[in-house]
Structure 1
Amino acid sequence: MMNQVPTLFFYVLLLVATAGLAQKPPGVWDVFDTGAKGDGKTMDTKAIQTAIDRCHAAGGGKVYLHNGRFLSGTIYLKSQVTLYLEAGAVLLGSEKASDYPDQTSEYPTYDEHPLTSKAFIYAENSQNVTIEGRGTIDGRGDLIDNRKLTDPYVRPSFKYRPRILHLRGCENVQVRSLTLRNAASWLQTYQACKNLVIDGITVDTRENKDVENPNREHAVRHRNTDGLDVVDCEQVRIANCTISSGDDGICLKSFSPDRGCRNITITNCIVSCGASGIKIGTETAGAFEDITIQNCTVFDTFGEGIAIMTVDGARIERVTISNITLRNIKRSALFIRLNTRNKQFGQPGPVNKPILKDIIIENIQGTRLASLGCSITGLADYPLENVLIRTIHFEFEGGITDVKPGALVPEKADAYPVGTMFGPALPAYGFYVRHVKNSTFDQIHLRFAQPDYRPALVIDSAEEVEIRGLKAQTVARTPELIRLVNARKVTIANSRLTAPVGSFLSVYGDQSAAIVLTDNQLGEAKQAYSFEKPALKAALKEYGTIQ
């Protein structure tokens, strides 16, 4: 037994002595082995890029960042490479714009072609690329801007503002679990990518976190820090993300008339931002098809809660949005717009004819919504078609008492689309709807925090509209619950008043016709209906009214 003790002791010493010489798992490239310092002061760009290049040349694997703060300029991600940031590791962006070379690309960009733009992590036409881990990528965008501008109220040029992630033309992309913060521009952009998964990331790039400050762009220098931009991508899954951004939160775009965003799901995300929470647009050259957005929360947002728009010729169809909660939205809670701004991206070429149809929005709740109201509007030559709004519970701030029923709402066919484009308050406190065809509003419940004299719904220059189960708050000085203006083939059924009102329905415009009311409860109305002209009475038929 005594003879065995020295032997056992020898093997223990041998294990201790050789522990530091253990081989790393195959397929892992540690950036410390290629010269990284990880001290947050020494530039580690070359060391990280060397590890990526060797990993790619070997056929793929994992480039591993751990136990350090790695300062770097532009990193070029390549096919079959996973960039992995261990928990506690931080990848720091350089303060110098010169450390982010301009990227010339075959893909169009926001302003010009070919694109010259900057990025912290860049890839083009790569396959099977992944960026993941529980670490952090810090773009330090505030420091880059401070080097280039002296006027704190001037928005810095795109020329000097690198994105944190910019991937183009890539296939089989995964971005998982990371924290991405402090971008100098759009935080992450994916353009013309296929099979893209973004799951469980945290984005924190909001310059002005005080949504109650109306002067958001001057409170701190505004950098257009969108949280997540998907441009002309297909087969996209965005899930389980938390996004706090200085501009739009999650945004789908199109720069190419012959491309588009297709087969996209967005689910289980939490968004708070300085502009629109979840948005299709503004850049809309191509197509948007087969998009599902569900189970998300949008709150403390300076712009729109949910926005869908085609303004540069895009065709938008088969979009389903459901199970969303909205809170403290400073512009329109829901904004749907078709117009003809017709901006072109990249080289000039033909502009498509816009289409916006087959939209379902259901099971949406919202409180502390702007008194502005919601708008769903097209153009006379390009009406919205087949829009279903169902099971909506909205509480608006209200408080608009200066009501001018005859005031005209400008078309603004080529204006930049935004909830306030028609003025600080829409004609309806709930929904202003114009130039739509074959659309339904079902089980819409509306109320306000402060007395508001506007109607709940205004339907203007529309055809084949159905309103069912409307229950909306009014006050005695509200002229009508619903106003129709040049509306044809309208059915209003199973709706009721909850408080006194001037009239349940008013009808304006010589083109109003074929209005049918069925089984509505009108007991709180001083008069059931009012008409701009006596001849318009012939446009209305009534069945089963309950007084």
Structure 2
Amino acid sequence: MKPEHTKSKSKSTKMNRLLTILFAWLLLITSVFAQKNTGVWDVFAFGAKGDGKTMDTKAIQTAIDRCHGAGGGKVYLHNGTFLSGTIYLKSHVTLEVEAGATLLGSDRAADYPDQASEYPTYDEDPLTSKAFIYAENARNVTIEGRGTIDGRGSEIDKRGLNDPYLRPSFKYRPRIIHLRGCENVHINHITLQNSASWVQTYQACKNLVIDGITVDSRENKDIEKPRETTARHRNNDGLDLIDCELVRVSNCYINSGDDAICIKSFSPDRASRDITITNCVVSANASGIKIGTETAGRFEDITIQNCTVFDTRGEGIGIMTADGAQIERVNISNITLRNIKRVALFIRLNTRNKLYGKNKVINKPGLRDIVIENIQGTRISSTGCSITGLADYPLENLLLRNINLNFDGGISETESTSPVPEKTDAYPVGTMFGPILPAYGFYVRHVKNITFDQVQLRFAREDQRPAMVFDDADQVVIDHFTAQSSTKTPALIRMVNTRNQLITNSRPSTDIPVFVKN
């Protein structure tokens, strides 16, 4: 028989435990009630540890679900590193990662399930790629804060080196953000880093604002070394806008392993339209700022201005339609280019005609009404720039004004005598016609109504090619054109099968035997 004092102590212990549990429940209820009334849902109140080791997926998702269920508000991550798999963002929810906090992706691909979707994908498979943060057909969603979202791409990549399921396709490598069919979206000030695939993808979204973000997702950062010097390429596009409308991208720094900023289309019945990109600084292991390559629908009313593109392995600026898109009314201005390894300006129409998802329609392509002005560039590859359509689909109505480019040069006349192939169905890229074009500055083919106004071209090493070559061009205007040349250059400007040309107020900057040759 137990003494009375032992019984009393046992009862006291049980009572203390009960009081502790009741107090904990009271704190939780009070916390949830307070969050519901303040509109801020702290993930710690839902069991998040924030220690970078414990999976906090359930806690974060519960906070999002409760916030959404209450009509909206802010889900708050602060003072910790929150390890998680896929998070589903919902309507009227702001996900805030506070300064000093990190939302850290799992390094297991299994923690990022595929999602069935009504929207077409890059591949014919109707399932979306994996994503760290995913939403579909949501409204009024925001991701913001001065904190960091880390996709753990390098760790996921290492796990997949000997895994045949993981290695063949980026389909199994999660993006950091993937929003589809969403409306009224804000992405503000956040840092996105180390993605396993495209860093952020917005598809068929409307009224999208991306402001002041930083993207640091570039494996093999040394631009002077081969692309896969230290790590395997992971298709790390910095920002992809697919069939989006009413888009404003501003004040961003993007350093990416593939294209930095890319506007695309997967749907022949949709359009990428009413888009402005301004005040951005980008560097990339592919193209800097590009329209294409995936181009099923329309592209119209696009403005790109006040941007810097540097240390870029592909094109500085690219505009291309390859899959049936009509591209119209594009304005590009006030861009500086430095150390561009492929071509500074690449404009291309061809008929690769790739299909996306279950779509079976190929539109009739077109590329017209393009204005490119106030462009300065140095250390541009000796390939030169190209503006080319097809004989059946010429480019129309292009104005290039106040262009000042300095090319690497160093090519002899004999090195550039090979005919330029048409490559009507090839993947469009600046070097698609070979590493050497007939002109050190601009090669123009299958174009109607093009104007070069106040264009200056130079080279760092003597180049014996013409500054510009036109082939099958109609209505060519060249005004206030100045270009460097060599005494061995056959002509500063060469016209082949070109009609209705007008050259005024133009001159070579060095002695040359022939100015224009037909």
1:114 equivalent in structure 2: 126
Contact 1:155 1:223 in 2 (8 A): no
| 2:228 partner SS | helix
1:325 equivalent in structure 2: 336
Of the three residues 162, 175, 192, the one matched with 1:180 is 192
Of the three residues 48, 52, 59, the one matched with 1:47 is 59
Contact 1:240 1:268 in 2 (8 A): yes
2:231 equivalent in structure 1: 220
1:201 correspondence with 2:213? yes
Of the three residues 429, 447, 458, the one matched with 2:469 is 458
Contact 1:276 1:306 in 2 (8 A): yes
Cα offset, 1:348, TM superposition = 4.0
Letter of the 2:435 partner, please give it.
P
Aligned residue-pair number? 486
1:224-239 maps to which residues of 2 (within 5 A)? 224-239=235-250
TM-score, with length taken from structure 2: 0.92
1:287 correspondence with 2:304? no
1:250 correspondence with 2:256? no
| 2:515 partner SS | strand
Of the three residues 45, 48, 71, the one matched with 2:83 is 71
1:5 equivalent in structure 2: none
Q: For 1:484 and 1:60, how far apart are their aligned partners in 2?
A: 63
2:171 equivalent in structure 1: 159
Of the three residues 239, 251, 262, the one matched with 1:240 is 251
Cα offset, 1:116, TM superposition = 3.6
Q: For 1:172 and 1:496, how far apart are their aligned partners in 2?
A: 52
Q: For 1:428 and 1:67, how far apart are their aligned partners in 2?
A: 57
Contact 2:417 2:438 in 1 (8 A): no
Q: For 1:130 and 1:116, how far apart are their aligned partners in 2?
A: 21
2:363 equivalent in structure 1: 352
Contact 1:139 1:183 in 2 (8 A): yes
Letter of the 2:66 partner, please give it.
R
| 1:323 partner SS | strand
Q: For 1:241 and 1:95, how far apart are their aligned partners in 2?
A: 27
1:263 equivalent in structure 2: 274
Contact 1:104 1:117 in 2 (8 A): no
1:393 correspondence with 2:397? no
Which structure 1 residue ranges, 5 or more long, are not aligned?
1-17, 508-547
Letter of the 1:381 partner, please give it.
D
Letter of the 1:246 partner, please give it.
G
Letter of the 2:58 partner, please give it.
K
Cα offset, 1:401, TM superposition = 1.3
2:182 equivalent in structure 1: 170
1:310 correspondence with 2:310? no
Q: For 1:241 and 1:117, how far apart are their aligned partners in 2?
A: 25
Sequence identity (%): 72
Cα offset, 1:402, TM superposition = 4.3
Q: For 2:130 and 2:186, how far apart are their aligned partners in 1?
A: 21
Contact 2:267 2:359 in 1 (8 A): no
Contact 1:121 1:164 in 2 (8 A): yes
Letter of the 1:121 partner, please give it.
I
Contact 1:148 1:160 in 2 (8 A): no
| 2:48 partner SS | coil
Of the three residues 46, 66, 73, the one matched with 1:61 is 73
Contact 1:145 1:160 in 2 (8 A): no
Letter of the 1:202 partner, please give it.
T
1:300 equivalent in structure 2: 311
Contact 2:268 2:359 in 1 (8 A): no
Contact 1:77 1:122 in 2 (8 A): yes
TM-score, with length taken from structure 1: 0.87
Q: For 1:421 and 1:84, how far apart are their aligned partners in 2?
A: 44
| 1:264 partner SS | strand
Letter of the 1:131 partner, please give it.
I
Letter of the 2:76 partner, please give it.
Y
Q: For 1:150 and 1:451, how far apart are their aligned partners in 2?
A: 48
| 1:145 partner SS | helix
Q: For 1:103 and 1:481, how far apart are their aligned partners in 2?
A: 56
2:4 equivalent in structure 1: none
Contact 2:183 2:207 in 1 (8 A): yes
Letter of the 1:334 partner, please give it.
L
**Which consecutive aligned stretches of 4+ in structure 1 deviate over 4 angstroms post-superposition?**
21-25
Q: For 2:352 and 2:168, how far apart are their aligned partners in 1?
A: 24
Letter of the 1:407 partner, please give it.
S
1:31-42 maps to which residues of 2 (within 5 A)? 31-42=43-54
Q: For 1:433 and 1:325, how far apart are their aligned partners in 2?
A: 22
1:445 equivalent in structure 2: 456
Cα offset, 1:406, TM superposition = 5.0
| 2:432 partner SS | helix
Cα deviations by residue, 1:429-472 (Å, 9 ceiling, x for unpaired): 00000000011011110000000000000011110110111100
Q: For 1:233 and 1:97, how far apart are their aligned partners in 2?
A: 28
1:143 equivalent in structure 2: 155
Report the aligned-residue RMSD.
1.6
Q: For 1:114 and 1:376, how far apart are their aligned partners in 2?
A: 35
Q: For 2:316 and 2:162, how far apart are their aligned partners in 1?
A: 33
1:346-385 maps to which residues of 2 (within 5 A)? 346-385=357-396
1:14 equivalent in structure 2: none
Cα offset, 1:314, TM superposition = 0.3
Cα offset, 1:218, TM superposition = 4.9
Contact 2:124 2:358 in 1 (8 A): yes
Q: For 2:369 and 2:167, how far apart are their aligned partners in 1?
A: 37
Letter of the 1:106 partner, please give it.
E
Contact 2:170 2:235 in 1 (8 A): no
Q: For 2:481 and 2:42, how far apart are their aligned partners in 1?
A: 62
1:129 equivalent in structure 2: 141
1:273 correspondence with 2:284? yes
Q: For 2:397 and 2:456, how far apart are their aligned partners in 1?
A: 21
1:429 correspondence with 2:440? yes
1:469 equivalent in structure 2: 480
Q: For 1:167 and 1:299, how far apart are their aligned partners in 2?
A: 28
Q: For 2:232 and 2:415, how far apart are their aligned partners in 1?
A: 38
Cα deviations by residue, 1:342-383 (Å, 9 ceiling, x for unpaired): 000011412001000000000000000001000000000000
Contact 2:273 2:302 in 1 (8 A): yes
1:483 correspondence with 2:494? yes
Q: For 2:437 and 2:319, how far apart are their aligned partners in 1?
A: 18
Cα deviations by residue, 1:470-514 (Å, 9 ceiling, x for unpaired): 10001111111000000000111110111121310111xxxxxxx
Q: For 1:384 and 1:418, how far apart are their aligned partners in 2?
A: 17
Report which stretch shifted further, 71-80 or 111-120. Answer: 111-120
Letter of the 1:377 partner, please give it.
T
1:81 equivalent in structure 2: 93
Cα offset, 1:160, TM superposition = 1.9
1:326-341 maps to which residues of 2 (within 5 A)? 326-341=337-352
Letter of the 1:456 partner, please give it.
A
Cα offset, 1:151, TM superposition = 9.1
Q: For 1:381 and 1:241, how far apart are their aligned partners in 2?
A: 39
Contact 2:466 2:494 in 1 (8 A): yes
